[in-house]
Each structure stands twice: as C-alpha cells, then as structure tokens.
Structure 1
Amino acid sequence: MDSRPHVKFLKTMYQVVVNNFLAVVPVAAAAAVLQRTSPEEILARAWETRPVHWLLALLLAAAVAKLRRMRRPKDVYLVEYGCFRPKPCFRAPIATCLEHAHLMPYLIDKESVSFAIRLLERSGLSEETCVPDAYHYMPPDRSLKASREETELVIFSAIDDVFARTSVKPKEIDVLIVNCSIFTPTPVFADMVVNRYKLRADVKNVNLSGMGCSAGLVSVGLAKNLLQVAPPGTNVLIVSTEILSSQYYVGTERAMLLPNCLFRMGGATMILSNSSERARFKLGRVVRTVTAARDADYRCVFQEEDDKGNTGIRLSKDLTTTAGHALKSNITVFGPLVLPASEQLLVALSLLKQKLLSGGAKVRLYRPDFRTAFEHFCIHAGGRGVIDEVQHGLGLSDDDVEASRMTLHRFGNTSSSSVLYELAYIEAKGRMRKGDRVWMISFGAGFDCNSVAWECIKPAADADGPWADCIRRYPVQLPEIVKDI
C-alpha cells in the first residue's frame, strides 16, 4: 500500500466524497429548490394548505415510521463474555510433549516421532499452552470419567466468569446454546449447565455438535435469529468449547496426529440479549458459508478410523487452501453488507474493467480494504497456516492479525472459543474504543466459514480476563518458519 502523504490525502478525500454522496445529494437538491423559491412563497403555500391535509400527512408519516419500526428486526447485543483460564498445572511445555512423544507406546517408528517434533516446533505454540489432566497420563486417559471432569472444569469455570462480570443472574437466562464437536455425553452439556446453575424449567436449550471450530459463531447466528423474534429483554447464554480427553488419537497416521499437537484446552461463554441495557457490543452482520457440496471440502476435516481401527480427526493437507476458498465465497456475501460505498465502487469498476477489456481474465481485480470497515480482526487461531492464508487474502498487516497470532501462541487452538480469547486480548491491551468495529472469522468442519461483525458500545473497564497474568509480556516475537511441514 502506498504510504506517500499526498496519496493518503487523495484516498481520504475520495472516501469522504463517495461515502457521503447519498447524504449530500438530497441536501443539495433541497437547497437548489429553496434557492429558487422565496420565503414568502413558501409561507403562502403553507397557509393555503387545508388543516385536514396537514393532519393526514402527519398521520401517514407516523404510520410509515411505525410500520418501519415493526418490520425492522430487533437489534441484538453482547452483554458480556468470559473465558476459561487454565491453571499452570495443566501446562504442556514443548519439552514435556517431546518426552511423551518418545514414550508413547504406539509411536514406535522414528518417522512419526520426528514428524510430531517438527510439528510442535513450528506450530507457533508457547510453553504455556494447556492440555487436560487426562493428557498428562501415559498413555492418555480417554475414559468417559476423564472427559466429564474436563467438561465440568472448563464449562463451569467459563460460565462462572461471565456471571461474575455482569449483573445478569442465572434465573434471567431464557435460552441456552452449548456447542462441542466431538464429545457428546448423555445427558448433554446443555442439561449439565441447567442442572449446575438451576436454570428455570422453561429455559429453551440447544446442544450443537460436529461443527468444529466454527460452532461458536454458528451459535451466535442461531441466537440472533431467536432473539429477533423473542420478547424484549430475552437473554441467551452461549457456551463454546472442545473437550479433548476422549479424542486423543493413538495411531501413527500423520494427518490424524495434527489435532493432538495443535488443539489445547479452552472454552468461552457469551450472554446475548435483545435489550441494550447492560450491553457492551452491538451485533452487526452475520454470514455463514457452507461449501460441503464439494467433496474435497466435505472431507477436509473428517472423523474416521485408520487402518488399525483407531478413531481420530483427519486434517487434509489442503486445509489452508480450502479455508481460503471458503473465505472468498463468504466475503462475496459479507463484503457488500459492511464495506463503505467508496470500496464497493472500486470493486464494481474493477469488475467492469475485467468485463470490457479484451483478455479481461488477465485484469487483476481490486481487493477491497476491509480496514475501512473494521478496526479489529479476530481470525480463528487454527494454526499458523490458517492465519497466514487469511492475512494474505485480505491484505492485512501484522498488527491486524496480532491478536490471532498471540492467542495461538499463548492458548493454542481452543477451537470455537478462540475468537473470544482474541477479543479479550484486544481489550486487555486497551485498544478497544467506543464505536470500534470488530470482524470475527471462523472456519469449521463441513466446510464452514463464518463472519460476524460487532460494534463496541462500552469497552471493558479492566483487563481482568484470561490475559490478566501475562498481557504485559505480549506481543512476543515468533520464530520464523523456514519451510512448512
């Protein structure tokens, strides 16, 4: 991007003129009409109008305004969010992971051990990422009991955190949405939460599974649809997590070893409402794109058994490319809804140029600058490759993706909850201001790509969140990767 002062000035002037064009034209037209008509003529015409006509005009205007308000969907707000912060005893330092890799009875060939070591060294994860207690056993404890213990620790801690941050009480929750992809016990997570917090008997509850890392923002879209038709003052509690204990892969397939190395323990909660009282963010556009019609995308993240009968999640080597294609499809819908007119005009002119010029396929399409629509970006911390792909595709700077990279470094890939750890990072650094806009992007099995826009109403009063004990040390310099795995 050109940084010369005069180029920046011209671009700023262009944006001001184009973005305010629709507001300026009616004012200019009205001014032109008034300039041709004297004040005396305007007053004379007003006196000539019969009172009944004035009354009808006022009634019509009031009816139109009322109808517009009734037809407009209710606004949805984020009241508060909370994140699980694991204790240091759950840490999985790289040295410990490497020692376990050598001791695992199923990793008998040196190639599998060497692959796991290279993956960990290049993953972008720090020495502070955490895994459940079950992973600290040799071999890992994949029992139902271990999974339940992890579930109760992560989910209940995150819910306790969000209730401690707001004046909303458990009895005020009208709808409960819980998402976890792999582990689905009976009773389900939603029932566990209802039982623990003694929610009302008439609470609506939904339990989502199998959607991978996109489930958190899918839940936001579901909550939005419910709140827009619910009575005023309705509150929705969303819980997003991934329980790891039961899904540890004990085979040697490289594509199925990836989740063991990248996924870490984590969870987050949100309270959404259709009342602006106590709200901190206003929900904007929500766009979900599903590319499961393509076989390659459908099998990109796939749970199956290897040739020895060991169950695990197979991640395709084309995962980052698939994510890029899904993001492109998502932006096609999301972009026109959020971009200012100045950027949309440049995109339209670029498309027109491609159509009109001979050899139009060689014309490079204009890539819109989403920094004109958002001040902050929360990209799912699925791995270095995913963040790199999105950064390159959107033309973002290193500062724009700092929250994503630092979340991956400190907490690892916490699946559907990662975007909220990133939002907490931005607020802990004191960078969030009233009126700032946030774009959350997530990817998940299916293959799904989700975009959610927020506008800040009230920044956090403090940084007492998951980053409280380490925010002063961030950002950190990440080592360069010479060659991808």
Structure 2
Amino acid sequence: MDDESVQIRIRNYVISHFSKLLLLVPSMAVLVTNVSRLSLNQLCLNLQLQYNFAGFIFLIAVAVFGSTLFFMYRPRSVYLLDYSCYLPPSNLQVSRQRFMNNSKLVDNFNESSLEFQRKILNRSGLGEETYLPESILCIPPRPTMAAAREEAEQVMFGALDNLFESTKISLREIGVLVVNCSLFNPTPSLSAMIVNKYKLRENIKSFNLGGMGCSAGVIAVDLANDMLQIHRNTFALVVSTENITQNWYFGNKKAMLIPNCLFRLGGSAVLLSNRSRDRKRSKYKLVHTVRTHKGSDEKAFKCVYQEQDEALQTGVSLSKDLMAIAGEALKTNITTLGPLVLPISEQVLFFATFVGNRFFNAKKKKKPYIPDFKLAFDHFCIHAGGRAVIDELEKSLKLLPKHVESSRMTLHRFGNTSSSSIWYELAYTEAKGRMMKGNRVWQIAFGSGFKCNSAVWVALRDVEPSVNNPWEHCIHRYPVKVEP
C-alpha cells in the first residue's frame, strides 16, 4: 500500500469518527482536570501528613527532652537514715560543785569572777551530769593543741562509730562529708581527720566549716542537701561538734565568762542519702531548710564575738543585746519559713494584720500577728543555747511547756553542746516514744554572725530510738523539774 492510500484511509477514518472525537475531548479534559486535582489533593495530603508527622515527632522529642530535664534537675528527696549523739564517759561528768571547785584552783580567776560564775551556773538550767573534756577537768588545765585534737577525735569518732554500727553501710559509698566546728580548725582539718581514720574514698567531696557558731549544724545539713542534688546515688555524712579545750576562758571579763558556764562536751553524726531505695529504711525526709543572716548589721555582727581581754586572754564575748538580736533574726526566718509550712488560715491572718498595720492603722498600729506554728509542727527542737534562749522562743512562738521539753531537758542533761544540741533534742523525743509517722519536726538554731537557721523534717515511720541513744540509760528520770 502506497503513501497516498494510507493518507486517504486515515482521512476517511477521522471524518467518520469526528463526532466521537468531539465527545472524547471534553471527557479527556475532565479526566485530566480530575487527575490533576486528585494529584494536587494527594500532594497536599502527603504534605499535611508529613507536616503532622514532623509535628508529632517534634512533640515527642520535646516531651522526652522535658522529662529528661525534669528527672535530672528536679529536687532530689534527701532522707535521714540515722544519726548518733556522742555520750561521754561518766568520769568526765561535772557537777556544779566540781565546776566551782576546779575554778577556785585556777589562779587566773578573782573572787568577783568566781561569784559571777556561781550565779550564772545556778541560773543556767544545767544539771549535775553535764560533761567537760579531761583537759579542762585536770588541775592545772592543759589547753594544748594535742589535747584539743584528742577531744575532737574522742567526740567525732565516738559518734561516727555508733552511727556506722547502726547503719551497717559501706564506707566507700559515702560521697559527701561536711564537718562543722566553730572555734577549733587545725591543719590538717577535722574533715581530713575523719577521712584518714575511716579510709574514705579519694574523690569524696569534703567540707570543713569553721567560725559559724551554734547554728552551723543546720548550715551543714543545708550544704549536704545541695551536694546531694548534684551527685547521684550517694551518702552524705554530716558531723557537728565544738571544741572546748583551747577555748576555755581564763580571764575575769564577765561577758566572756558566760560561755564557760554553758558550753559542754558533745557532738553528733548524721547520715543522709538521696537514693530512693533508702526511703524504706530511713527515719526522716528533709522538707525545708531556711537560713537567715543578719551580719550586715553591726550590732548583730558583734553580739557573739571572739576577742582578747585586757590581759590578752582569748574568749567569746556575749553582748547584752543578744536576745533582742536573736528575736529579730527569728522574725526574719519565720517570715520566710511560714508560707512554706503554715496552713492557709494562718497565712491569711498574718497577711491581713500586715496590710492593716501598713495601710489602715498608720497612727495606731496593732501588734504583728504571730502565726500559730503548733499547727504546722508536732515537735520543736530549739537550740539549747541557754535558759534565756528557750524562754524567749517559748514566749515568742506561744509554745506550751511540752513543746520545749526536749530543749530544756537537753540543756539540763548535756548543757549547750553548740551545733549538735538539736540532735540530742531529737534523740530525747525518740527515746520518749513520741515520734509517729507523718510527724513534722522543726529544728531551729542561732549562731554568731548573727544567724538564725531552720530545718524541717517529716517522720517516714514510727521512729524508735537509735542504737546507743544518749538518753537510753536515764530517760526514765525525765522530764525533771528545773529550778527557777
């Protein structure tokens, strides 16, 4: 078939099917349009699915990242496994009469100083069974560096041995060590003495706090808590003590003789953990720590001040303004602590009184409302700094005699053991069988600088007395009536 014949046949086919071709064009146009629209919709759907999927993945990533940050940086619970208070041997007990007899044998004291010490001692609230180091009881006293080290080792190692006996932990698991002693800071440090004695691990985070007064026990707990927020799955050891040997005053300045009549031998060791598995065997959980520092005020800074008298005898001088300054520090401290622990009703009353005095009763101000902390706490461990300190807080906080019983009895039995006194008080409450699950404890202490510090604990179970509780041999005799 030639080319011309082919062309003719194609032309005839097109002419005969022209009508069909006319109908096919719109159909093809509709088909192409629908296919294009379908492809566009599919493309949009694909893009939307991809967008949604990417958003979903992003949200998952944010959730995972946020959860990781939360679990990494959320405040870790800190538990108190156990603690120990040092009980000195009976041969170191010092009655009032023995104290005065020894003082009379020291040539440095004149008659006026001896009479002053006798009066302070009789009014102090201390009983007949407090303790002093052998270096002070011997005649003549030997306030040497060697004797001071012996006292530090006796107290710290005695408390630590009891603590390790009761907890049975591996000492290599202790990752943080905090030691506080205000007036004795040798080289090597007290913390180094503990590391050396118990062969603690080489990378332990150790701290030695000095010159921070009787409230340093709470400061040490606060520092240990901060360290346990950083270092995972570890124990923190807190040792609180004071050293008398080289800090006994052998002069005649009355303001510097008062500490001789109040401070006695003692110390404590506390074991903390941030491991969740330790909750079941722990006694308490740390809830809050609040620290107040009034050192910017000159009177507050110098109200407890170590210095030398005219005869170059070193001692700690207590100002007549001490109780007033302590009261101001307490007010500042509870202003911060109150909103954390008080029920809403007490907070509303406090705020209403404050607003009323500030804006509506400018000329005739009412006394500031003192919140009822008995609604927030079941037990109070007020630093047994002296009878006046306990009396003032009982009055200021409107406490009942039962709330300050542990403080008064600790002062009577052990004297002012400085930063460790709040632990003797907690031990008293346990020995009396009063610590029930869910009970809240307020430890509050005052110290030079001037500082007021608080720690709040909650009991995780009905707490039994620790092994070798310092009250176990005499708790049946307490409480006793303290002479006015």
TM-score range, shorter chain: 0.7 to 0.9
User: 1:378 touches 1:423 (CA, 8 Å); kept in 2?
Assistant: yes
TM-score, normalised via structure 2 length: 0.85
CA offsets per residue over residues 102-159 of structure 1, 9 Å max, x none? 2220112x22111010011111001000000011122321011111111111110000
For 2:436, which of 417, 433, 454 is the aligned residue? 433
Q: 2:164 aligned with 1:163, yes or no?
A: yes
1:176 aligns with 2:177: yes
- The equivalent residue for 2:112 is 111
Alignment of 1:82-481 (within 5 A): 82-108=84-110, 110-231=111-232, 233-278=233-278, 279-359=282-362, 361-462=364-465, 464-480=468-484
For 1:361 and 1:55, locate their aligned partners in 2 and report how far apart those are by CA, in whole Å: 64
The farther-off stretch of 178-187 and 58-67 is 58-67
1:75 counterpart = 2:77: yes
The residue type equivalent to 1:268 in the other structure is S
Cα distance per residue 1:267-306 (max 9 Å; x no partner): 0001111113332211011111110111111111111110
SS where residue 220 of structure 2 aligns?
helix
Write the letter of the residue equivalent to 2:122.
E
Structure 1 Cα separation of the partners of residues 313 and 104 of structure 2: 19
In structure 2, C-alpha distance between the alignment counterparts of 1:301 and 1:248, rounded to whole Å: 15
Alignment TM-score, normalising by the size of structure 1: 0.84
Identity value in percent: 47
Amino acid at match of 1:248: W
Structure 2 unaligned segments of length 5 or more: list them.
Answer: 1-51
SS in 2 for 1:435: coil
Q: Secondary structure at the match of 2:402?
A: coil
Per the alignment, residue 22 of structure 1 pairs with none
| Native 8 Å contact 2:431 2:464 kept in 1 | no
Shift of residue 458 of structure 1? 2.8
Instruction: Report the Cα distance in structure 1 between the residues aligned to 2:447 and 2:295, rounded to whole angstroms.
Output: 11
State the Cα deviation string for residues 328-361 of structure 1 (Å, max 9, x = none). Answer: 1111111111112121111112222223434455
Pick the structure with greater CA Rg: 2
Say if 1:167 and 1:348 are closer, same or farther in 2 by CA, change over 3 A: same
How far residue 254 of structure 1 moved from its aligned partner, in angstroms, is 0.4
Contact 1:291–1:326 under 8 Å retained in 2: yes
Q: Match of 2:260, SS? A: helix
Q: Which amino acid aligns with 1:432?
A: M
Q: What's the secondary structure of 1:277's corresponding residue?
A: helix
Matches of 1:364 and 1:150 in 2, distance apart? 48
Query: How far does residue 71 in structure 1 lie from its aligned partner after superposition?
Result: 4.3
Report the Cα distance in structure 2 between the residues aligned to 1:139 and 1:257, rounded to whole angstroms.
18
Change in Cα spacing, 1:360 to 1:75, as seen in structure 2 (3 Å) is farther
Question: What SS is found at the alignment partner of 1:183?
Answer: coil
Q: Which moved more, 1:357-366 or 1:283-292?
A: 357-366
Aligned residue in 1 for 2:40: none
Distance 1:58 1:199, change over 3 A: closer
**Per-residue CA shift, 1:447-483, capped at 9, x if unaligned?**
1110110011134334640101100100011111xxx
How far apart, CA to CA, are the structure 1 residues paired with 2:277 and 2:363? 52
Counterpart of 1:438 in 2: which secondary structure?
A: strand
Are the equivalent residues in 2 in contact too, given 1:300–1:319 (CA < 8 A)?
yes
| Displacement after TM superposition at 1:434 (Å) | 0.8
Q: In the alignment, residue 167 of structure 1 is paired with which amino acid?
A: K
Cα deviation code 1:256-277 (max 9, x no counterpart): 1111111000000011111133
Q: Secondary structure at the residue paired with 1:174? A: strand
Query: Contact conserved, 1:91 with 1:131, CA < 8 A, in 2?
Result: yes
SS at match of 2:132: coil
Contact 2:333-2:453 within 8 A present in 1 as well = yes
Contact 2:306 2:315 in 1 (8 A): yes
Letter of the structure 2 residue corresponding to residue 80 of structure 1 = D
Question: In the superposition, relative to structure 1, how do residues 360 and 167 fare at CA in structure 2: closer, same or farther (>3 Å)?
Answer: farther
Q: Distance in 2 between matches of 1:93 and 1:363?
A: 47
Q: Deviation string for 1:151-175 (max 9, x for gaps)?
A: 1111100001111111322111111
Distance in 1 of aligned mates of 2:240 and 2:308: 26
Distance across 1 between alignment mates of 2:367 and 2:277:
47
Distance in 2 (CA, whole Å) between partners of 1:260 and 1:103 is 15
Q: How far 1:235 moved relative to its partner?
A: 0.7
Q: Which moved more, 1:233-242 or 1:277-286?
A: 277-286
CA distance in 2 between partners of 1:248 and 1:164 (Å): 33
* 1:402 shift after superposition: 0.5
CA distance in 2, matches of 1:358, 1:432: 44
Letter in 2 for 1:275: R
5+ residue gaps, structure 1: 1-49, 481-485
Q: What letter corresponds to residue 74 of structure 2 in structure 1?
A: R
RMSD: 2.1
Instruction: Tell me the distance in 2 between the aligned counterparts of 1:65 and 1:338.
Output: 28
Output the amino acid matched with 1:261.
C
Number of residues of Structure 1 aligned to a counterpart in Structure 2: 429
Q: After the TM superposition, list the runs of 4 or more consecutive aligned residues in structure 1 that deviate by more than 4 angstroms.
A: 50-71
Task: Answer whether contact 1:433 1:459 (CA < 8 A) is retained.
Answer: yes
Amino acid at match of 1:413: N
CA contact (8 A) 2:341 2:376 kept: yes
